[in-house]
Amino acid sequence: MTRSATRPRRATEAGRFALIALALFLALAPVAYGFLLSLRPYSAVVQAPLDLIPSFDQIDLTGYTTALLDPDQGGFGLGRFVLNSLVVAISTVALSVVVSILGAYAAARLRFWGRGAVSGLILAVYLFPGIVLSVPLFVLLARAGLTGSLLGLFLVYVAATVPVSIYMMRNYFEALPESVEEAAIIDGASLPRMLRSVVLPIALPGVVATAIYVFMIAWNEYFYALLFLVEDRSLWTAPLGISQLADFNVPVTVLLSGSILVTLPVILLFFVAQRYLVEGLTTGADK
């Protein structure tokens, strides 16, 4: 390759890296700024909000403790809200992933009339706006006596996440070689055993990617939590708790501390499962 031909290629790569660096800066700079402000006392933030790096003697974690403690301890109760969100999100992930594995494998391997239409309907259910489904869901939960409970919210989240989970994992199962499954069946493995011992270990990246996506939906969801839990503060989830911090009477350090605390679980989950997430989202992407 001649020197003149490599110059446009290098310029293209340099421009690409510059765009990536700019995007990273725009995404991370506000988070880093908020984190640094949350480490300073409120009085110092008011006096010098643009001082980015606090001195060692300025570091103050009062904002975090105030955000986490219950109201009777002088806080805003975010610790209880985070615990409620963890219970609902983890339960939603567990049931949604199990149901979606079975549904996605059936959609990927079984041949039946109307198979394409069923797959389209599965995704179409997910496309309905939450406001459209809110009234029938509220009526159903009210008749079942589950309004104002974490169990009712959990069931709503499962119903909302199973369609898209089936769609995501179906694409991954379709990318797996059927010869591996046929070999397991020839060796005498039953369908449940083959699914558990052969298919799932190979499909683990796709399952993990789907689980992370479901966790993010359940962790960040606000509308249904507001609709079903607003009357009982002890059952609020983290998004509802953060919304009460967005008040002029709440110190900005407490608001920033609460926002950082609510963001941490998702960030940690991404770092722990990064390899599985990338592989799971890219495999079967051409389907």
Q: Per-residue pLDDT tens for 115-130?
A: 667 767 777 777 777 7
Q: How confident is the model at residue 179 (pLDDT cuts 50, 70, 90)?
A: confident
Give the model's pLDDT for residue 287. 44
The burial of 97, by beta-carbon neighbours within 10 Å (0-12 exposed, 13-18 middle, 19 or more buried), is given as: buried
Alpha-carbon span 24 to 270, nearest angstrom: 16
Given a cut of 70, whether residue 283 has pLDDT beyond it is: no
For the residues 129-151, what does the mean pLDDT come to?
87
> Does residue 8 have a pLDDT over 70?
no
User: 229-245: buried (b, 16+ CB within 10 Å) or exposed (e) per residue?
Assistant: beeeeebbbbbbbbeeb
pLDDT digits (tens, 9 = 90+) for 70-111: 888 878 889 999 999 999 999 999 999 999 998 888 888 877
pLDDT at 206: 85
Render pLDDT for 269-282 as a digit per residue (tens, 0 to 9). 888 877 766 665 55
Per residue in 19-45, pLDDT tens? 999 998 998 888 888 898 888 888 888
For the segment 243-252, the average pLDDT, to the nearest whole number, is 76
Confirm if 126 and 167 have CB atoms less than 8 A apart.
yes
**Torsion 66-67-70-75 (CA) sign:** positive
Give pTM, 2 decimals: 0.84
- What tens digit of pLDDT does each residue of 217-235 get? 999 999 999 999 988 888 9
Model pLDDT, residue 97:
94
